[in-house]
Amino acid sequence: MGTVARQTLLLILMFVVSGGLDHATANSPEAASAGVTMVDGIDMSKYHHYDDLLRLAETLKVQYPHLVDHYSVGKSVQGRELLVIRISENVAERSLTEPMFKFVANIHGDETVGRALMMFLAQYLVAQYGSNPRVTKLLNQTEIHLMPSMNPDGFEQAKVSFVV
């Protein structure tokens, strides 16, 4: 495993081990000053439905056009786009020597935590780019693809108590 791969996995592991997206962390003064609690009216401290994911992906693309793009890899059984958020230092170009990582979450409808973490991670990476040396180096050397929901239909059908 190369250095960039190790750094990527270490960053993800540190994020998860440090508590990821718990309510106290998301509402801490540090998180608020980094702008990670609210994105375009979307509260990053709770689970979100499909339309919220689309809106957040579009917001990130508009706010960080040099870092973020998104695309679909197809449609779900019920016709929802299978969203992937691409994050890289120069997202408009594809370097053949730049490693790519794809993270997929919410494979089963009631697996909600990974879905929330993917969206939080996307927002964290772009907000920290340029000020956090590790994040900056990671995005300068890697193309990251985040698929927050492989099963958006299952998530929408999950019990309300799971997605509140």
Q: How far is CA 98 from CA 5, 22, 101, 129, 140, in A?
A: 11, 33, 10, 18, 9
Which of 33-42, 45-54, 75-84 ranks highest by mean pLDDT? 75-84
Domain interval for residue 62: 3-162
Instruction: Centre a 10 Å sphere on the Cβ of residue 2 and count the other Cβ atoms it contains.
Output: 9
CATH number of the structural domain spanning residue 41 = 3.40.630.10
pLDDT level of residue 63 (50, 70, 90 thresholds): very high
C-alpha distances in Å from residue 59, one per residue of 52, 76, 121, 164? 10, 23, 15, 22
Prediction pTM value: 0.72
Q: How many domains does the structure of the chain reveal?
A: 1
The pLDDT score that the predictor gives to residue 109 is 76
- Better-scored residue on pLDDT, 44 or 35: 44
- CA–CA distance, 116 with 20 (Å, rounded to integer): 9
Would you say 39 and 123 are in contact if contact means Cβ atoms under 8 Å apart? yes
- Residues in Cβ contact with 95 at an 8 Å cutoff, skipping those fewer than 6 apart: 143
User: Distance between CA atoms of 48 and 43, rounded to whole angstroms?
Assistant: 9
